[in-house]
Amino acid sequence: MNSSIEKKIYLARSIGNVEPIEYMVPYPNTIALLEGQNIKYSKQLLYEKPEITNIDFFNLVQQTANWLESINIHPKEEVALPDLGSPQSEILLYGIWHLGAVAILSKSKKIDKKIFTRLHIIEPDIDLFDIIHPFPKKFIPRYKALLDDEALINYTDNSNIRLSHYNLLVNTNGLKKLLKINRGVRIACDLEPLDSSWTVFKVLLPLYCGAIYSDSNPDITISSKDTTATYFLRKDIDKYGNLKNNHIGICLENTAVLCLGNEPIHLTEIEKENGFLKLNGHSVMMGYTDNLINERAFKKNGLWVKLNNINH
């Protein structure tokens, strides 16, 4: 990526006089969130069924990282994350991050390998628990990702969206502020591991809030399908400005969450103009993998997303 595009992206990721270098999250990467929760709350329940505490989850993540290393996956390489069901998909994602690698989420069953230089495909029919069982519960990473390092790529039919560890953490932090979720609250979410909205809502949010994931007895339900859920997720954000108070606007170029009702997520500014959303803020992505698309999208000190292309 040339310096001109990098500068345009940096300007889009700034909001007012607050630049993204002035980090607003207390973690140096996503895996540090998990490590942090285990300092004080290692015995707190994270998943109700199967019963998994924070320390159980961390041990499974470390076993997963050891397994990934054993099959010759290295830091900064790309790993296509399959749908293994919950919580195996979540554990695999954290294992990828603990190794220092990058996850690719996709609705497509086939990813164009020509786009990625070091792509690993993990088959969707594995039982992660069986595979990682022999591996040690202690993993010492050879590389620890930085906040600005790439953590995840949304692979789509139109363009591929690059997100950093900071993107994911700051978007989750903003979501916590919007929803005001307290420790011990039970959350259910019907998202599947297809894009970063699953990552923010189902992988990061429960840990960030100290919540418990519970399908059977939730206090809060989050859904992209059920309009009666506590919070209904919408990608048709051409309706931005007229969303109901419990509707959450989703824009993958803004990591995942754009707004709750008509309130933008923390550290995000939104303008609607001539069929585009102009976005500024710390949740704005690292850019597309295609620099030609970056040239068109990043201009006039912001990220311009065409509304009729926003539902990836």
- pLDDT tens digit string along 70-95? 999 999 999 999 999 999 999 999 99
* Contact predicate 286/155, CB 8 Å: no
User: How high is the mean pLDDT in each 10-residue block of the chain (312 residues)?
Assistant: 87 90 88 96 97 98 98 97 97 98 91 87 96 98 96 91 98 97 97 98 97 96 97 91 94 97 95 93 96 95 84 47
The dihedral sign for the CA sequence 78, 94, 146, 105? positive
Determine the Cα–Cα distance for residues 285 and 121; give it in Å rounded to an integer: 24
Cα angle, residue 208 at apex, residues 182 and 106 outer, rounded to 5°: 130
What residues does 305 pair with on adjacent strands? 277
pLDDT at 157: 78
Which residues lie closer than 8 Å to 269 by C-beta, 6 or more apart? Answer: 15, 16, 279, 280, 281
pLDDT at 310: 56
Whole-prediction pTM value? 0.96
Q: What is the CA radius of gyration of the chain?
A: 18
* Contact predicate 303/278, CB 8 Å: yes
pLDDT at 73: 97
Nearest Cα to 78, choosing from 31, 112, 30, 29?
112
Largest CA distance in the chain: 57
Determine the Cα–Cα distance for residues 215 and 104; give it in Å rounded to an integer: 26
Buried b (16+ CB within 10 A) or exposed e, 202-228: bbbbbbbbbbbbbeeebebbbbbeeee
Which DSSP helix (H) or strand (E) runs through 247?
strand 247-250
Which tokens sit at 282? Answer: 């710390």
pLDDT at 1: 62
pLDDT at 33: 97
Write down the H helix ranges in the chain: 3-12, 30-40, 54-70, 88-99, 128-132, 165-179, 196-198, 205-209, 291-297
Determine the Cα–Cα distance for residues 238 and 259; give it in Å rounded to an integer: 12
Determine the Cα–Cα distance for residues 250 and 259; give it in Å rounded to an integer: 7
Is residue 143 classed as helix, strand or coil in its secondary structure?
Answer: coil
pLDDT at 311: 46
